[in-house]
């Protein structure tokens, strides 16, 4: 064997990732298309009669929009991307390709099972599916299968890591693989709440095996998972910002050890904060809510570390390209590269999303914004931009790499990224303002008798921003489709892994160990959730009957 062919063939991993991306992008396509109708509805243009008989109501569309965009698109994209990144950064195939493919099919099977009642208007319960709204059992079972499949992805990553570790004792885990592992391990701990809600409450209840359920316990279990899930979406974007973007910007990562610290803090702090979604729920003591508020401020910190690292790395790249001045270097970033442009634009909006998050988390301030359009503005900057636009930016190199063909159009991609940035800036600013004026979220606002005249101008901006976003999305999907099907120019891209100014050899050994951090994470969860969950389980009467409100 010559050294050249000693490198393992990772094309099977590429095909697996491609399969995940196809499902992810189809889901996103349907999801964002429905978002367009919502934005128009807010601007006074009700096109829902056109969607009959497929989509029967605003709320059915909104349920599909939420589930497909933030549960399905994210989960499939992340599973495909992180398995790819892990295999590439270890330079090794996944532990067992049969298991990896079986996982993909299980996840897809779960998605199909979820989609049937959603499309049939039997699960119009929004992505949070709060009881006593009751969906068809297939909705809950399907989503549970998707979650079980994500655990199998964790298993694949862990076993791949152990194989690598056996061959490389004493070596620091490569940063991209380390971060991928942290992401899936964090998610596996975090998803236990959702799994418990499904297995012990929603599934038996929807199958008619038990007569009643309980809204508060279900919400507590949901948000146990529902906050850390946002970091399950965000950390893969951070993986790109830390380990790929610095190289794309022409520079190096500021510090490898600092990046590890940030991810380990997410492992420890992501979960014990879920009550910040339940500040207004009765039945949870103020003291525990306040404790979760403080821990939310703590989990803000690793994002501040990330802000610092990413700006330092971008600056390093821009200065290497001749950038000068305190802020002038920003213009010297390679703005003609759509992958980099999309991701840097997503960071800028995320800075504002983060500030809004702090306002949400501030207990008493939350009373002003809770359940208003403000929250919708917040999460369109975070998951709708930091995550989605970053993932789009990643596909601008990843899809050409997987397909072996150049991106169909660089200009179209650049236009797309800027339109997303502009459209989202307009739409989300308007949503924040509407929230402050008291406009509720999750409401077919054009049909609301209490629609206030002073909301109108901002509502029009929601429609305009939403339209720009829709155009951006269509440019994106066209470019992806043309790259996959029509593009003929060969491409020989590599994964743009970045080097670090301060490399892994500077990382203390504790940053490459698992047990202490896992133990710390579990202790935090037991402290933050134990007393409340034990009390709720012991005292809850489980007597709420199900309702179909649609």
- The binding site for ligand HAS (CB under 6 A) comprises 128, 230, 233-234, 276-277, 296, 300, 303-304, 306-307, 310-311, 347-348, 350-351, 354, 357-358, 360-361, 366, 369-370, 375, 378-379, 382-383, 387
Pick what 536 binds: ligand HAS, Cu ion, none; C-beta below 5 to 8 Å, kind-dependent.
none
Q: Does 260 bind Cu ion (CB under 5 A)?
A: no
CB of 70 to Cu ion, least distance (A): 13
Q: Which residues contact 364 (CB under 8 A, 6 or more apart)?
A: none
Rg (CA), the chain: 23
End-to-end, the C-alpha distance of the chain in Å comes to 65
Q: Return the range that interacts with Cu ion (CB under 5 A); candidates 53-61, 166-174, 221-229, 534-542.
A: 221-229
Ramachandran quadrant class, 540 (left: phi over 0; alpha: psi -120 to 50; beta: rest): beta
Q: Return the range that interacts with Cu ion (CB under 5 A); candidates 156-164, 226-234, 250-258, 342-350.
A: 226-234
Pick what 69 binds: Cu ion, ligand HAS, none; C-beta below 5 to 8 Å, kind-dependent.
none
Q: Which is nearer to ligand HAS, 220 or 347 (CB)?
A: 347
Q: Does 292 bind Cu ion (CB under 5 A)?
A: no
Q: φ, ψ for residue 212 (rounded to 5)?
A: -135, 170
* Rounded Cα–Cα distance for residues 223 and 273 (Å): 9
Pick what 310 binds: ligand HAS, Cu ion, none; C-beta below 5 to 8 Å, kind-dependent.
ligand HAS
Q: Which is nearer to ligand HAS, 128 or 163 (CB)?
A: 128
Q: Which is nearer to ligand HAS, 124 or 483 (CB)?
A: 124
Write the CA distances from 531 to 269, 298, 368, integer angstroms. 18, 21, 28
Per-residue interface string for the shown chain with Cu ion, residues 178-217, x marking contact by CB under 5 A = ----------------------------------------
**SS3 call for 125:** coil
- Token readout for 184 is 């899936």
CB of 296 to Cu ion, least distance (A): 7
Q: Which residues are catalytic?
A: 227, 231, 378-380, 441-442
**SS3 call for 211:** coil
Pick what 20 binds: ligand HAS, Cu ion, none; C-beta below 5 to 8 Å, kind-dependent.
none
Pick what 333 binds: ligand HAS, Cu ion, none; C-beta below 5 to 8 Å, kind-dependent.
none
CB of 274 to ligand HAS, least distance (A): 10
Nearest to 20 by CA among 391, 416, 405: 391
Q: Which is nearer to Cu ion, 172 or 227 (CB)?
A: 227
Name residue 502's beta-bridge partners: 255
Residues binding Cu ion: number (CB under 5 A): 1
CB of 117 to Cu ion, least distance (A): 27
Q: How many CB atoms lie within 10 A of CB 62?
A: 23
Q: How many CB atoms lie within 10 A of CB 306?
A: 24
Q: Which is nearer to ligand HAS, 16 or 310 (CB)?
A: 310
Q: Provide the 8-state DSSP code for 172.
A: P
CB of 375 to ligand HAS, least distance (A): 5
Helix intervals (H) in 338-488: 338-361, 366-369, 373-381, 388-403, 410-436, 456-485
Q: Which is nearer to Cu ion, 217 or 295 (CB)?
A: 295
Q: Which is nearer to Cu ion, 88 or 227 (CB)?
A: 227
Q: How many CB atoms lie within 10 A of CB 108?
A: 18
- Which of 42, 172, 219, 227 binds Cu ion (CB under 5 A)? It is 227
Nearest to 483 by CA among 412, 418, 416: 412
* Rounded Cα–Cα distance for residues 357 and 296 (Å): 9
Q: Return the range that interacts with Cu ion (CB under 5 A); candidates 179-187, 223-231, 238-246, 304-312.
A: 223-231
Q: Residues 442, 62: contact at Cβ < 8 Å?
A: yes
CB of 13 to ligand HAS, least distance (A): 26
- Token readout for 165 is 């570790």
Q: Residues 188, 218: contact at Cβ < 8 Å?
A: no
Nearest to 139 by CA among 123, 125, 128, 124: 123
CB of 320 to ligand HAS, least distance (A): 17
Q: Does 289 bind Cu ion (CB under 5 A)?
A: no
Find the residue with minimal CB distance to ligand HAS: 354
Write the CA distances from 439 to 57, 281, 368, integer angstroms. 20, 20, 11
CB of 128 to Cu ion, least distance (A): 12
Instruction: Catalog residues that contact Cu ion under the rule CB under 5 A.
Output: 227
């Amino acid at each position: 064997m010559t050294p050249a062919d000693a490198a393992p063939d990772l094309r099977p991993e590429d095909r697996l990732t491609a399969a995940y991306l196809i499902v992810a992008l189809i889901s996103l396509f349907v999801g964002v298309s429905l978002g367009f109708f919502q934005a128009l509805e807010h601007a006074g243009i009700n096109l829902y009669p056109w969607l009959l008989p497929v989509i029967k109501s605003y709320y059915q569309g909104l349920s599909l929009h939420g589930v497909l965009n933030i549960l399905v698109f994210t989960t499939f994209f992340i599973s495909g991307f992180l398995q790819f990144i892990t295999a590439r950064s270890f330079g090794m195939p996944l532990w067992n390709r049969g298991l990896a493919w079986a996982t993909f099919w299980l996840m897809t099977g779960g998605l199909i099972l979820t989609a049937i009642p959603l499309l049939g208007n039997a699960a119009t319960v929004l992505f949070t599916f709060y009881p006593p709204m009751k969906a068809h059992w297939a909705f809950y079972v399907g989503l549970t299968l998707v979650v079980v499949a994500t655990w199998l992805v964790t298993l694949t990553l862990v076993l791949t890591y152990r194989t690598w570790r056996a061959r490389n004792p004493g070596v620091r885990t490569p940063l991209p693989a380390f971060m991928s592992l942290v992401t899936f391990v964090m998610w596996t701990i975090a998803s236990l709440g959702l799994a418990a809600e499904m297995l012990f409450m929603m599934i038996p209840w929807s199958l008619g095996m038990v007569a009643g359920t309980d809204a508060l316990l279900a919400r507590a279990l949901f948000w146990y998972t529902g906050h850390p899930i946002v970091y399950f979406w965000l950390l893969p974007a951070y993986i790109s910002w830390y380990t790929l973007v610095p190289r794309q910007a022409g520079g190096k990562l500021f510090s490898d050890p600092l990046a590890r610290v940030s991810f380990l803090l997410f492992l420890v702090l992501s979960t014990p904060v879920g009550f910040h979604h339940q500040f207004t729920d009765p039945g949870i003591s103020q003291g525990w809510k306040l404790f979760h508020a403080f821990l939310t401020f703590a989990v803000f910190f690793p994002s501040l570390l990330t802000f610092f690292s990413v700006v330092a790395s971008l600056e390093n790249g821009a200065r290497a390209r001749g950038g000068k001045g305190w802020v002038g270097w920003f213009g010297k970033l390679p703005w003609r590269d759509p992958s980099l442009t999309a991701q840097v634009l997503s960071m800028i909006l995320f800075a504002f999303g983060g500030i809004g998050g702090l306002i949400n988390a501030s207990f008493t301030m939350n009373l002003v914004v809770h359940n208003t359009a403000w929250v919708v503005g917040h999460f369109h900057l975070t998951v709708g931009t930091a995550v989605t636009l970053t993932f789009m930016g990643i596909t601008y190199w990843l899809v050409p790499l997987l397909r072996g063909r150049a991106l169909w159009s660089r200009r179209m991609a650049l236009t797309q990224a800027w339109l997303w940035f502009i459209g989202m800036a307009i739409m989300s600013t308007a949503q924040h303002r509407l929230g402050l004026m008291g406009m509720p979220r999750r409401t077919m606002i054009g049909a609301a008798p209490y629609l206030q005249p002073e909301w109108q101008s901002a509502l029009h901006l929601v429609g305009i921003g939403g339209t720009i976003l829709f155009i951006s999305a269509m440019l994106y999907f066209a470019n992806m489709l043309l790259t996959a099907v029509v593009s003929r120019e060969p491409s020989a891209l590599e994964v743009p892994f970045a080097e670090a100014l301060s490399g892994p050899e500077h990382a203390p050994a504790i940053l490459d160990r698992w047990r202490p951090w896992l133990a710390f994470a579990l202790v935090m969860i037991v402290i933050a959730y134990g007393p409340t969950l034990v009390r709720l389980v012991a005292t809850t009467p489980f007597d709420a009957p199900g309702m179909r409100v649609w």
